[in-house]
Amino acid sequence: MKLAILASLFIATVWAGPLQQRKALPISRHFGGRIIAGNAAEEDQFKWQVGIYIYNEDSEFFCGGALIDTKWILTGARCVDGATSFTLRFGSNSLVSGGITREANYSVVHPDYNSLTLENDVGLVRIDDGIEPDAHVEIISLATEELEGDMSVTVSGWGSSGDWGGITSELYYINLTTISNIECRMSWGDAIPDETVCARENRNNGICTGDSGDPLVMEDESGNFIHVGIASWASAGGCDITQPSGYSRTASYVDWIKSTTAFGSFTKMKSIVLICLCVVSAWAGLIAERKPVPVKKHFSGRIVGGDEAAENQFPWQVAVYFDTSDGTFFCGGALVAENWVLTAGHCVYHAEVFTLHLGSNSLVDDDDNRVTVAATYSVPHPDYDPSDLENDIGLIRIDTAYKTNDHIKVIPLASSELGADVDVIVSGWGASGDWDGVENHLRFVGLKTLSNDDCKAVYGEAVITDGMVCAVGPTTEGTCNGDSGGPLVTDDGSGNSVHVGVVSWASASGCETNHPSGYTRTAAYRDWVESVIG
């Protein structure tokens, strides 16, 4: 299934391409979590809710949806784009017990769906044998008139509890308040189209990974619930922040839904005047299109388009396992002093304890060269903010004594800025594609740097800062999930490698594109690094 997790931006009326801050990959095989700060749903509270297991040629994923007819489910376009079949669960708050199961093999993606721009993120799934409403299953009506700001709404789903969680087995919900598109533009810029409705709460309540396609509903004057939005995106700075989340506005798509499903049960809301949003040159903020949560439990993958590293080829490479309150996760890093590892800011932010593997290309195979050390102290850059892409750099102090050798070496940091069209290498255990996980064996890929001006031409003026360097491969080569914090290196002209970048973000249109990837520019932060490590 096609995937996009992105930060949106528009330049004039042209889509300039998405960004995604690289997440560390969860190591835990057990999915758990809930709607952010949400409440457990009561029995029959959301009888229109549908759990959707989605299958493509080689993977299985999960989304939410709403029953809008005896034969049709309304969900997100990304939930059905590329899918081959579906298993649908009705009439139960639990994904593991009770309820009714149906199969589906036919779906419809909105014809104007754009996985890069978030536009028209609406899809339909047709139930093969249909389903009749009963005491636990109910059809929800669709709103036909636009939703205004400052309205009380509710979103429900099995989505994760935070940036590192997966789907939960029990249905949760959260009450939110809509905001006008003008107010939403104050957070995200002018990229919010008329067909989007934004909602938020004062705390970090909202949708998270796994809530794709879930229904946003509100109570009408008669006490009945109507469907007003489809969960589409949230801040790429993380689920656990207070910025608005975005929903495909149901009323904007009623005609298309009606023509596709050939039914006509709709409910009107109070009429309001539409606000016309003009797309102008502006940074639209970190908007993350919510991806369906993978259900498959086994991680595999590699640097996109890369080769296996030879023994001692990257003796500075460090595998970083770290624990947070949500579980254990993985990043890459580089040994920059005998007791310090350089990595990404988002790999140390909220981390509590680290386990570091040095001297081995393998994560799991027996290797006498591997040295495992512990760490409990880390330092994110003081200006790192998880809501944007800047200053994404951090340090981990190694607690355990060890000795450097041919397999474990410190890499020097670049002291001068990196130019364009320079050959660089990125290495890591990251995923091979959009749905894969970390690889057992270290891999690497050769890239070329771009000038920041060229990178801005892709992602926008306000996105690319002097503290970043961009690099691109000849085709689909580059970094993917799990490469967070890994080193970007180049030859210093004397045959020695020097550290020039920290893996930070990549194109949200997927790992397997030829869009540039982004790195924190080492030379720009050398003074800070040296001030910390002494």
Q: Please say whether the beta carbons of 59 and 294 come within 8 A.
A: yes
The DSSP 8-state label assigned to residue 94 in this structure reads B
Does the annotation mark 484 as catalytic?
A: yes
What is d(CA 3, CA 19) in angstroms, rounded to the nearest whole number? Answer: 13
Give me the phi and psi of 523, to 5 degrees please.
-60, -30
Q: Find all residues with CB under 8 Å of 403, minimum gap 6, and list them.
A: none
Structure tokens at 356: 């570091």
Burial of residue 37, with CB atoms counted within 10 A of its CB: 0-12 exposed, 13-18 middle, 19 or more buried: middle
Of 529, 501, 524, nearest to 22 (Cα)? 501
Does the annotation mark 161 as catalytic?
A: no
* 249: number of Cβ within 10 Å: 24
* 51: number of Cβ within 10 Å: 24
Which position among 163, 326, 392, 483 bears the catalytic label?
Answer: 392
SS (H, E, C) 126-170: ECCCCCCCCCCCCCCEEECCCCCCCCEEEEEECCCCCCCCCCCCE
Q: Please say whether the beta carbons of 39 and 171 come within 8 A.
A: no
Classified as helix, coil or strand, 255 is helix
- Per DSSP (E only), the strands in 301-403 are 307-308, 317-324, 327-337, 340-343, 353-358, 371-375, 377-380, 394-397
* 105: number of Cβ within 10 Å: 13
Which position among 484, 497, 504, 507 bears the catalytic label?
Answer: 484
- Per DSSP (E only), the strands in 364-408 are 371-375, 377-380, 394-397
Does the annotation mark 59 as catalytic?
A: no
Q: Find all residues with CB under 8 Å of 186, minimum gap 6, and list them.
A: none
Please report, in angstroms and rounded to a whole number, the separation of the first and last CA atoms in the chain.
Answer: 47
Structure tokens at 258: 């009606």
What is d(CA 214, CA 197) in angstroms, rounded to the nearest whole number? Answer: 14
Q: Please say whether the beta carbons of 71 and 130 come within 8 A.
A: yes
Region of residue 52 (phi > 0: left; psi between -120 and 50: alpha; otherwise: beta):
beta
Q: Please say whether the beta carbons of 154 and 175 come within 8 A.
A: yes
The DSSP 8-state label assigned to residue 186 in this structure reads H
Q: Please say whether the beta carbons of 318 and 484 come within 8 A.
A: no
Q: Please say whether the beta carbons of 129 and 151 come within 8 A.
A: no
Residue 266 amino acid letter = F
Which position among 346, 357, 381, 499 bears the catalytic label?
Answer: 346
Dihedral sign from CA coordinates of 362, 364, 366, 367: positive
Residues tagged active-site: 346, 392, 484
